[in-house]
Amino acid sequence: MKLSQTEENYLKAIYNLAYANANNVSTTMISEAIKTKASSVTDMIKKLADKDLVHYKKYQGVSLTKIGQKIAVEIVRKHRLWEVFLLNKLNYNWDEVHELAEQLEHIKSDTLTDKLEAFLEFPTHDPHGDPIPDKEGNIEHHKDTMLSSVETEKSCVVIGIKDSSDPFLKFLDKLQIQLGSTLKVISKEPFDNSMLVKTESASISISNQISKNIFVKKL
């Protein structure tokens, strides 16, 4: 099945939204993710349903079919591998790779992805800590431990970023927080759920908004 870039982008958006929200994905959610109007989404959903890539009942939202899921995961795999390439080989920063990967993920080839993966020596995670699906589409998801749920006095290691938008990544750079950073929670403020955290280089106050977006592994 040969899909257009646009169709691929819809599938990926539905995949990501379904993963973050479990249930059926609404027209409006997709329209926000893709930055188009809801009416355009309805049009596309019908096309995808005709191709058996999504389950669709009018007014009830969509979910991916087996095939749709498979294709979406392939795109995610390509996206994340290209991100690794851009960071490791071309020396981009982690806040620059996403936009380029959005383009590169649509390159069509039967062999490219696997060759790229081998060249990168089979990375397991992308620059934002997201897991890279294997050739067969298997993917090892994060356990959902967020920094916000770490107890006072406990230490943890940063293993992923939930919101990997440009500004957030740049902000983390300023705090000198990166994948692999060890953080110790000094104290928590019940008032606003902010926490005082000791990084390798400083003690900083982190709002709940931020600590809810950092995946960690407790030590």
Partner DNA sequence: TAAAATATTTAGACAAGCCTAAAAATATAA
Partner DNA sequence: TTATATTTTTAGGCTTGTCTAAATATTTTA
**Residue among 167, 99, 87 nearest 126 (CA):** 87
Give the one residue of 37, 46, 89, 218 binding a copy of itself; rule: CB under 8 A.
89
- Residue 122 beta carbon to a copy of itself: minimum distance, rounded to whole angstroms: 14
Helices (H), the chain: 5-21, 27-34, 38-50, 66-88, 97-104, 112-119, 166-174, 208-211
Q: Is residue 131 a contact residue for DNA (CB under 7 A)?
A: no
59 phi-psi bin (left φ>0, alpha ψ -120 to 50, beta other): left
Give the CB-side neighbour count of residue 148, counting CA atoms within 13 A: 15
Instruction: State which residue, 44 or 87, has the beta carbon closest to DNA.
Output: 44
Q: Is residue 40 a contact residue for DNA (CB under 7 A)?
A: yes
Instruction: State which residue, 77 or 98, has the beta carbon closest to Mn ion.
Output: 98
- Residue 171 beta carbon to a copy of itself: minimum distance, rounded to whole angstroms: 22
Contact indicator for 124, 190 with CB cutoff of 8 Å: no
Give the one residue of 2, 22, 58, 118 binding DNA; rule: CB under 7 A.
58
Give the one residue of 11, 13, 14, 45 binding DNA; rule: CB under 7 A.
45
DSSP β-bridge partners for residue 217 = 157
DSSP β-bridge partners for residue 198 = 184, 203
- Number of residues lying near a copy of itself (CB under 8 A): 15
Please choose, out of 33-41, 54-62, 100-108, 130-138, the segment that lies near a copy of itself by the rule CB under 8 A.
Answer: 100-108
The Cα–Cα gap between 214 and 146 comes to 6
Which residue bears the tokens 């999504």? 54
- Residue 45 beta carbon to DNA: minimum distance, rounded to whole angstroms: 6
Contact indicator for 100, 81 with CB cutoff of 8 Å: no
128 binds, among DNA, a copy of itself, Mn ion, none (CB under 5 to 8 A by kind): Mn ion
Using CB under 7 A as the criterion, which residues of the chain lie in contact with DNA when the complex forms?
A: 4-7, 26-29, 34-47, 56, 58-61
Using CB under 8 A as the criterion, which residues of the chain lie in contact with a copy of itself when the complex forms?
A: 89-92, 100, 103-104, 107-109, 111-112, 115-116, 119
